[in-house]
């Protein structure tokens, strides 16, 4: 029964409106060029389905994987994260070719596809597993993130995004991966807003 309840909650979480199919290039199938520099970035901004969907569309991004980060339980399950017993947020791991796209460009897109001013979740998805967090892998990522937050605050946004060092990333269950590409649905809890004015 607990599994059925979790699946029911899953169906309600980040439910979709519309049936627009993503393009083939948005499905995370691109690989970095052999001479490229592979790096990783980690973001949490509400339901990981939508964050994954939008970040996969960036040229130079090789793959985006949904998962969990920031908690205290080893190998957490979706049910544990949903029940707030593991301490994790829904996050994504972005693998990108740094010779084709910089970290700051990915982080900028992250801040444009979710609401970094919402403190209790994202859209209708409320709870600690849906908080806005950037998990930086090194000082350069931390500085770039703080610079972008500063730009948003200068524009009047009361940014509540947490900036934390990257921790263990636990991939989510297979049925979460490339959710919108598999279902042909479109996320309704994420949408791009050009907050940086370009």
Measured distance CA(165)–CA(177) in Å, rounded: 24
pLDDT tens for the chain, 198 residues long, are 443 344 334 434 443 333 232 333 333 334 444 457 999 999 999 999 999 999 999 999 999 999 999 999 999 999 999 999 999 999 999 999 999 999 999 999 999 999 999 999 999 999 999 999 999 999 999 999 999 999 999 999 999 999 999 999 999 999 999 988 999 898 878 999 999 987
Q: With respect to residue 123, please indicate whether it lies within any of the assigned structural domains.
A: yes
The tokens describing 98, both together, are 């740094």
Angle between helices 103-113 and 48-55 (to 10 degrees): 130
pLDDT number for residue 114: 97
CATH (domain of 175)? 3.30.1060.10
Q: With respect to residue 124, please indicate whether it lies within any of the assigned structural domains.
A: yes
Cα separation values, 135 from 35, 85, 141, 168, Å: 26, 20, 9, 10
Measured distance CA(125)–CA(178) in Å, rounded: 19
Q: With respect to residue 77, please indicate whether it lies within any of the assigned structural domains.
A: yes
Predicted structure pTM score? 0.83
Q: With respect to residue 189, please indicate whether it lies within any of the assigned structural domains.
A: no
Q: With respect to residue 196, please indicate whether it lies within any of the assigned structural domains.
A: no
Q: With respect to residue 100, please indicate whether it lies within any of the assigned structural domains.
A: yes
Q: Which structural domain range is residue 62 located in?
A: 2-183
CB 135 within 8 A of CB 164: yes
pLDDT number for residue 98: 97
Active site residue 47: yes
Q: With respect to residue 70, please indicate whether it lies within any of the assigned structural domains.
A: yes
Catalytic residue among 14, 47, 89, 166: 47
Q: With respect to residue 168, please indicate whether it lies within any of the assigned structural domains.
A: yes
Least Cα distance to 162 among 54, 67, 39, 70 occurs for 70
109 CB-side CA count, 13 A: 19
Work out how many domains the chain is built from and give that number: 1
Least Cα distance to 145 among 69, 71, 43 occurs for 43
């Amino acid at each position: 029964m607990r599994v059925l309840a979790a699946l029911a909650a899953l169906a309600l979480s980040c439910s979709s409106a519309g049936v627009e199919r993503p393009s083939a290039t948005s499905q995370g199938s691109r690989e970095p060029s052999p001479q490229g520099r592979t790096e990783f970035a980690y973001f949490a901004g509400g339901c990981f389905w939508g964050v994954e969907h939008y970040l996969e569309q960036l040229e130079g991004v090789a793959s985006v994987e949904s998962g969990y980060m920031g908690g205290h339980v080893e190998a957490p399950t979706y049910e544990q994260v949903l029940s707030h017993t593991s301490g994790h947020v829904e996050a994504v791991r972005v693998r990108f070719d740094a010779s084709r796209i910089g970290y700051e460009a990915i982080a900028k897109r992250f801040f444009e596809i979710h609401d970094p001013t919402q403190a209790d979740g994202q859209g209708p998805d409320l709870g600690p597993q849906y908080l806005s967090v950037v998990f930086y892998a090194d000082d350069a990522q931390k500085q770039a993130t703080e610079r972008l937050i500063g730009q948003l605050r200068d524009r009047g946004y009361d940014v509540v995004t947490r900036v934390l060092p990257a921790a263990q990333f636990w991939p989510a269950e297979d049925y979460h991966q490339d959710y919108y590409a598999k279902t042909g649905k479109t996320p309704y809890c994420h949408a791009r807003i050009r907050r940086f004015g370009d």
